[in-house]
Structure 1
Amino acid sequence: MQASDLLVSCLEAEGVEYVFGLPGEELEDLLFSIRDSEVQFIPVRHEQGAAFMADVHGRLTGEAGVCLSTLGPGATNLLTGVADAHLDKSPLVAITGQGGRERLHQESHQMLDVVDMFEPITKWNTRMDYPDAIHESVRKAFKLAEHEKPGATHLEIPEDVAGEETDSRPLDPGEREIRRPSPDGEAIDRAVEVLREADRPLVLAGNGAVRTRAAEQLRSLVEMTDIPAVATYMGKGAVSDADDHSLMTLDSGSEDQAERVIDRADTILAVGYDIAEHDPENWNPDGEKRVVHLDFEPAEVYEHYVPDVEVVCDIAHGIEALCGADIGGTDTDWYADLREDLVEEVTGAPTEDDDVTVKNALPLLREAMADEDVLISDVGSHKMAIAKHFPTYDPNTCIISNGLATMGIAVPGAVAADIAVEEDVVAVTGDGGFLMNAAELETATRLDCSFTVVVFRDDDYGLISEKQRDHRDEAFGTGLGNPDFVTFAESFGIDAHRPETWDELGEVLDDAVGGDGVTLVEVPLEPVR
């Protein structure tokens, strides 16, 4: 068969249903091979959007999302989304076209060393120079992308290679679930000893607790031991925030409450925690807390994160081993009042006289969404509010980029989420992040997607302004101008609203979430002074 046909047959063998990308001259053979396959090519409006879609698809399904671009500027546009997947531990396979091999040794049109460029942001990447090796390269890319800890891989195919003939055939992926190591008995014994000695133990649930589908085991552990849990931004939902053991996230509540939660704890059981999510210096500044590290890989070396014991194994199996040991019960008095304060703070609906802020709007959004619905958060000041004040009840229902923390992910992420899950989807974004990839609204309408976009407008890069004011009592270089978002959305043929009261906002959200088609809701915020 033709090499491009082999590549697409390999994608079919891996179970790929969608490829998100942009066409290019160097991709001609590959695109027509996709056309004649069971894989659906989804043309998007910007390569960054394609990578974000593959990123969110990978996070929600655990199976590598696939994005495609041409050489040169197409590949450079793909970089940010691929890097986001890599730092957020989301399985993704990026494919880029390249010029013919006869011109790769010299300066030529749109020619960049793309493989070298992708090296720092992928687990593995290669140029497929030989048609007979394509089947092995594709299998390796998917295996490494999906293997714990997952991340991004990259394949480049020169246009002349794509048109050559090959006798190779796709490899059978076989058992996709690679067996992971069971916990070492001695390490479990030491972890149990540390937890028994603790007066105020606290579970810190990270991205890995959600990513490895270990939530069921973690919930059993906190129920058996009464040890409370906080989550990182990417660990939200590992323990339901409806559970009395949940103390929301590390930053939940007002500043003094957040400090009291983590300050009171003397021992941390860190489950699937990556320090890229949340700097340990913020919760262990003096290095005085005892730490049990439970993860698939050893802990990063960092002076504020020096575990007393490391349990390196499959996370779910490690938690099961702790559940089977006699850790004993924990006195709930040390955190019960914190739980009560946090619940009151995150569930109270706004009153008529309350300022229009993201925090005040979130209870109305939470009320409009079912527990299993999926929220995709963009990055900005609204992300901080969502992380702290949006109760999350199931794993993978509040998607936050917090490894690379990339603006512009919400709208393309919602496209991918709508395709990947049956539940309702809501994209929450600020005006800055929204306009970075707002063109993907056209992709959404073309695909007949149904989701809600909530745009908080403050005409500013608000998070940066906030930090500048904290440091200097003034802000510079952060002000924005915006179009009329309602008219802008309607130009795509979608419904749009700008509610003027809290009651109107609640009604609009109730109607939009679960409705047909894409709906945009603009929420103008009170100006920051």
Structure 2
Amino acid sequence: MQLTGSQILVECLKEQGVDTIFGYPGGSVLNIYDELYRHQDEIRHILTSHEQGASHAADGYARSTGKVGVCLATSGPGATNLVTGIATAYMDSVPMVAITGNVTVNLLGKDSFQEVDIAGITMPITKHNFIVKDVNKLADTLRRAFKIAQTGRPGPVLVDIAKDVTANKAEYMKEEIPPIERIKDTITEEDINTALAMIKEAKKPMIFVGGGAVISDADQELKEFVYKVDAPVTDTLMGKGAFSGEDPYYTGMLGMHGTKTANLSVTQCDLLITIGARFSDRVTGNAQKFAKNAKILQIDIDPVEINKNVIVSHCIIGDVKEVLKILNDKIEQHDNKEWVNQVMEMKKQFPLKYHPEVLTGPYILEKLYEITGGDAIITTEVGQHQMWSAQYFKYKKPRTFITSGGLGTMGYGLGACIGAKVGNPDKIVVNIAGDGCFRMNMNEIATAARYHIPIIQIVFNNHVLGMVRQWQSLFYGQRYSHTTLNDSVDFVKLAEAMGAKAYRITKKEEAEEIIKEAISLNVPVVLDCQIASDDKVWPMVAPGAAIEEVFTEEDLQAKK
């Protein structure tokens, strides 16, 4: 049947099972929005306060559900406002399709009003992108975009559509979309057997889990593998929840703000089994000294990640879930009790600590974990609050900790929180922010209020840019250059003005009751939590140092 480009677009979205789009209208996408109006009972559109909020919401929706997130913006500044969100999704391998409008075909390349080469701009931060100038190619392009976004290592794909394409007509025929097949043809028997031999030979194995284990939904296979290998587990920021933070074999996060136990165990192990992690510099510290006593076995879907940051002894290329299935079928039960007990003793010796006498970020997170029983989705912005969220809330399941790991995007969490709540309406969804991050995109509280999306926004308000100040304190002679937020912004009044409920917490005794009330209200709530300006994230590894040089506040004081 003959349909307009806008009708074809909506039909293709329905083919893909898209139920929600986050976006902001404008001239180049008016035809698309007119069609969405006709299909509002099938596809929900969330109008965000800013296009960046739309891209982060699509990202949060994708990470929390495993589906493709979709965002939509007009040409020019509308499209460029998506760029930070697209780059965020690219760095963390998030399946997302960003759809932008552009000027009509005859105006392309002429510096027309609100024209920008968004495909050129986003080329380095997308898995692929398309410019559609012919309505006859629109349906196939959209289908390819969704397939590319989900196949193998996921990532964002951009589809830029000229405005006249959305009005022109072409023949459309509905297609049944086959499920995405997992990559397993790269897994060889030889690679599996070599890995099994390495595991058998090891006396002190350590399992290191990254975001790839979350993306592949390999949590059950991972748990079985851990207990068959009989090895302690550490993870990255992106890997949280793939292996339960409540499990006794879990040692905490690895790296710059990882636990002493995890950092020292990786340094002391003789085999590091790395599952879906890319050896980010924030994890490895000094890469030349990383896991210096160990052979490294890396399991990853992307061959580009092998030997990129750290030289490994052996690798298996393929979908993590499929690789672990094969290994679990073949591996014998191992017994590394002596090594496991050694690591467990370290856990007792080096617990995470914070100042218990005053209101702090860690205290609020522990109280939130206690109240929710750990059954919540936590999104974060970027900074100290992000690290505390990784350290003090125990993630039992994958897709429950949603944060910008690779790009470190301040302003990410609130949009992502809205997207996660839309995708998981029955879950408690909480965004943890610092006051610096919250300022960046706090206008999205108005979005949550407009659509009655009952998220909880917790602001750790220390009146400084906390993580940058921490570095200035430790490495820059306490020269606090432009990191003190000494203004009179009142987050409670701002939140109420945007239609949310809001509370201020100034002491520990107030926290539990107010958090419980925020959850019970089932409306958007902002909690302004006043904490000290000089609270720091401990432990820490200095930039350029080996992870075994991890130090705590007590270590620093003893050194002084």
TM-score range, shorter chain: over 0.9
Residue 507 (1) aligns with residue 510 (2): no
Q: Could you tell me which of 301, 313, 322 is aligned with 2:318?
A: 313
Q: CA deviation at 1:509?
A: 1.3
| 2:113 aligned partner | 109
| 1:131–1:164 CA contact under 8 A, matched in 2 | yes
Q: Could you tell me which of 422, 432, 436 is aligned with 1:419?
A: 422
Q: CA deviation at 1:514?
A: 4.7
Residue 370 (1) aligns with residue 376 (2): no
The amino acid of 1:395's aligned partner reads P
| 2:449–2:498 CA contact under 8 A, matched in 1 | yes
Residue 338 (1) aligns with residue 354 (2): no
| 2:234 aligned partner | 230
Counterpart secondary structure, 1:111: coil
| 1:458–1:524 CA contact under 8 A, matched in 2 | yes
Cα separation, partners in 2 of 1:194 and 1:180, compared to 1, 3 Å? closer
User: In structure 2, how many angstroms separate the alpha carbons of the residues matched to 1:257 and 1:222?
Assistant: 17
| 1:20–1:42 CA contact under 8 A, matched in 2 | yes
Counterpart secondary structure, 2:528: strand
User: In structure 2, how many angstroms separate the alpha carbons of the residues matched to 1:256 and 1:180?
Assistant: 36
The amino acid of 1:307's aligned partner reads V
Q: CA deviation at 1:192?
A: 1.5
Counterpart secondary structure, 2:198: helix
Cα separation, partners in 2 of 1:482 and 1:290, compared to 1, 3 Å? farther
For structure 1, the 5+ residue unaligned runs are: none
Q: CA deviation at 1:297?
A: 2.1
User: In structure 2, how many angstroms separate the alpha carbons of the residues matched to 1:426 and 1:16?
Assistant: 24
Deviates more, 1:449-458 or 1:260-269: 260-269
For structure 2, the 5+ residue unaligned runs are: 536-560
The amino acid of 1:306's aligned partner reads I
C-alpha RMSD of matched pairs (Å): 2.1
User: In structure 2, how many angstroms separate the alpha carbons of the residues matched to 1:504 and 1:252?
Assistant: 32
Q: Could you tell me which of 405, 408, 411 is aligned with 1:408?
A: 411
Deviation per CA, 1:207-248: give whole Å up to 9, x if none: 011110001011111122321100101101111111111112
User: In structure 1, how many angstroms separate the alpha carbons of the residues matched to 2:217 and 2:281?
Assistant: 18
Deviation per CA, 1:148-183: give whole Å up to 9, x if none: 200000111111111111113343312244554373
User: In structure 2, how many angstroms separate the alpha carbons of the residues matched to 1:252 and 1:128?
Assistant: 44
Q: CA deviation at 1:456?
A: 0.5
Deviates more, 1:92-101 or 1:36-45: 36-45
Deviation per CA, 1:370-414: give whole Å up to 9, x if none: 333100011111112222232211111111210111111111111
Q: Under a length normalisation based on structure 1, what TM-score does the superposition of the two structures give?
A: 0.94
| 1:492 aligned partner | 498
Q: CA deviation at 1:491?
A: 1.2
Cα separation, partners in 2 of 1:443 and 1:362, compared to 1, 3 Å? same
The amino acid of 1:340's aligned partner reads K
User: In structure 1, how many angstroms separate the alpha carbons of the residues matched to 2:63 and 2:305?
Assistant: 22
Counterpart secondary structure, 1:166: strand
Q: Could you tell me which of 483, 505, 510 is aligned with 2:489?
A: 483
| 1:62–1:146 CA contact under 8 A, matched in 2 | no
Deviates more, 1:104-113 or 1:413-422: 104-113
The amino acid of 1:337's aligned partner reads E
Q: CA deviation at 1:15?
A: 0.7
User: In structure 2, how many angstroms separate the alpha carbons of the residues matched to 1:327 and 1:281?
Assistant: 33
| 1:234–1:400 CA contact under 8 A, matched in 2 | yes
User: In structure 1, how many angstroms separate the alpha carbons of the residues matched to 2:237 and 2:363?
Assistant: 19
Map 1:152-231 → 2, pairs under 5 A = 152-178=156-182, 180-181=184-185, 183-231=187-235
The amino acid of 1:390's aligned partner reads F
Map 1:48-447 → 2, pairs under 5 A = 48-178=52-182, 180-181=184-185, 183-251=187-255, 256-276=260-280, 278-282=282-286, 285=289, 288=292, 289-298=294-303, 300=305, 302=307, 305-323=310-328, 324-326=330-332, 328-331=334-337, 332-341=340-349, 345=352, 351=356, 354-421=357-424, 422-447=426-451
User: In structure 1, how many angstroms separate the alpha carbons of the residues matched to 2:286 and 2:399?
Assistant: 25
The amino acid of 1:36's aligned partner reads R
The amino acid of 1:493's aligned partner reads G
| 1:517 aligned partner | 523
The amino acid of 1:415's aligned partner reads I
User: In structure 2, how many angstroms separate the alpha carbons of the residues matched to 1:9 and 1:255?
Assistant: 49
| 1:286–1:304 CA contact under 8 A, matched in 2 | no
| 1:287–1:303 CA contact under 8 A, matched in 2 | no
Cα separation, partners in 2 of 1:255 and 1:330, compared to 1, 3 Å? closer
User: In structure 2, how many angstroms separate the alpha carbons of the residues matched to 1:2 and 1:256?
Assistant: 60
Q: CA deviation at 1:511?
A: 2.3
Q: Under a length normalisation based on structure 2, what TM-score does the superposition of the two structures give?
A: 0.89
Q: Percent identity?
A: 28
Deviates more, 1:473-482 or 1:453-462: 473-482
User: In structure 1, how many angstroms separate the alpha carbons of the residues matched to 2:398 and 2:31?
Assistant: 40
The amino acid of 2:508's aligned partner reads W
Larger RCO of the pair (alpha carbons < 8 Å, separation 6+): 2
Deviates more, 1:388-397 or 1:7-16: 388-397
Q: CA deviation at 1:465?
A: 1.4
Counterpart secondary structure, 1:216: helix
Q: CA deviation at 1:86?
A: 0.9
